Structure 1
């Protein structure tokens, strides 16, 4: 098998590029690889491990990511911040993309691409024999090109300032998606919890316009409790939606089951 046969194609990215909607589940408490099988069985296109809000080790991230890829589910990881070393190490585990929270401007977006992409797009250090190549070697240029294509880079838009700068963030080559974090955006707007506010929808419209203008994908986050709003945003061009977390799904099902027997 030569390097061109390495199964590192990002199925979620391919689905969005074809105009379809990808649905993801956030992972915060399920540390076993079984969560990848659950995501596949339930019909999710992707899962993303939320290192901003959980205590997982990179070993856990690696095990879940490798299993997800084998299952045909795209593993993404929300890193805690802009740290270049953290982004590189996270991708080395086998994750097929990163989600970076609280991106505010073009400069930060450029830093993210530099950390996540190999030359010539970025400055990520190359370990030629890695999880993405099934630990096979090959021509460096070929490996870097293929891995750059397979790595989905997402900037989260979570503040008034970020919304205002959405076009310049989306203009950065190597940024694939802008994912709006609706809850933190509400906080920034001074309307905590008002997910359906006109001001929130106006912010989404602004980010959606930037994505259309720059050929980037729009992602919807934090609206799992308001699927009717998420559906409207999908009609406006969103190609990714986070449909809830393992914590929320488990609690909702557990609560409903307990109530059914009382």
Structure 2
């Protein structure tokens, strides 16, 4: 993303083995988005997948369940190279997250010098903290009209790297569930995109894997990241299509 390229992510919600990292890499994804908001993965599972992904050259990022500082820091300690925070609504939320996710001087995260994030390579504390601050992605999800209205204040917080629009919950907030092509959704995306450009932050697109034509439209606003689908969705889609193939007559 730093080079201006689009990063494409695969969400992991079902497959718990390290094999998912190899699947994502060889399918051509740039990162593996491990979703702790909508499944029951343990931190041990997150750690194993994260270490495998890092070793294979695919970036592991984790959506944590909420704003709990302990959950954020412990997730990063497993080896995740980024965190995604659901339902970030205010500047105060953003500041709280940065405090937990970044080392001094940006935040107040405690340093474990030999850690999975660096594949257990040590070094001087100041260098490790500077490197990990630079390489740890912190993304806030914009999933409501309140968050859209506060996007400028959220993006202004140093240490927030990306605003990721969660389209499904945004639709719910607008009172138009499932209407991904609603004008209000497009307006919200345009506003968040302009905010990201103004503050030099990345724009992320989420929740549009079932509507790739709309996703590409939103990417056209300058997005640097898109969630392209989940292991569950890919499996069900392929399995359903294959079963139907054998049932079709002719």
Q: How would you bin the TM-score normalised by the shorter chain?
A: over 0.9
SS at match of 1:62: helix
- For the 8 Å contact 2:84–2:141, the answer to whether it is kept is yes
How far, CA to CA, are the matches of 1:39 and 1:192 in structure 2?
Answer: 30
* 2:150 maps to which of 143, 152, 165: 165
- For the 8 Å contact 2:142–2:164, the answer to whether it is kept is yes
* 2:40 maps to which of 55, 62, 81: 55
* 2:115 maps to which of 130, 137, 140: 130
How far, CA to CA, are the matches of 2:195 and 2:123 in structure 1?
Answer: 38
How far, CA to CA, are the matches of 2:114 and 2:102 in structure 1?
Answer: 16
TM-fit CA distance, 1:135: 2.3
2:183 alignment counterpart = 198
- Long gaps (5+) in structure 2: none
TM-fit CA distance, 1:19: 1.0
TM-fit CA distance, 1:198: 0.6
SS at match of 2:205: strand
How far, CA to CA, are the matches of 2:123 and 2:206 in structure 1?
Answer: 38
* 2:212 maps to which of 227, 245, 249: 227
SS at match of 1:232: helix
* 2:30 maps to which of 13, 34, 45: 45
* 2:171 maps to which of 159, 173, 186: 186
TM-fit CA distance, 1:79: 0.1
The within-5 A match list for 1:247-258 is: 247-258=232-243
- Long gaps (5+) in structure 1: 1-15
The within-5 A match list for 1:1-262 is: 16-262=1-247
How far, CA to CA, are the matches of 1:40 and 1:81 in structure 2?
Answer: 27
TM-fit CA distance, 1:197: 0.4
Residue deviations 1:205-247 (CA, integer Å, cap 9, x gap):
0100100000001000000011111111111101100001110
SS at match of 2:104: coil
TM-fit CA distance, 1:137: 2.9
TM-fit CA distance, 1:113: 0.5
How far, CA to CA, are the matches of 1:150 and 1:173 in structure 2?
Answer: 14
TM-fit CA distance, 1:143: 0.6
How far, CA to CA, are the matches of 2:201 and 2:225 in structure 1?
Answer: 11
How far, CA to CA, are the matches of 1:136 and 1:254 in structure 2?
Answer: 42
Question: What TM-score do you get using the length of structure 1 for normalisation?
Answer: 0.93
TM-fit CA distance, 1:196: 0.5
Counting matched residue pairs gives 247
TM-fit CA distance, 1:71: 1.0
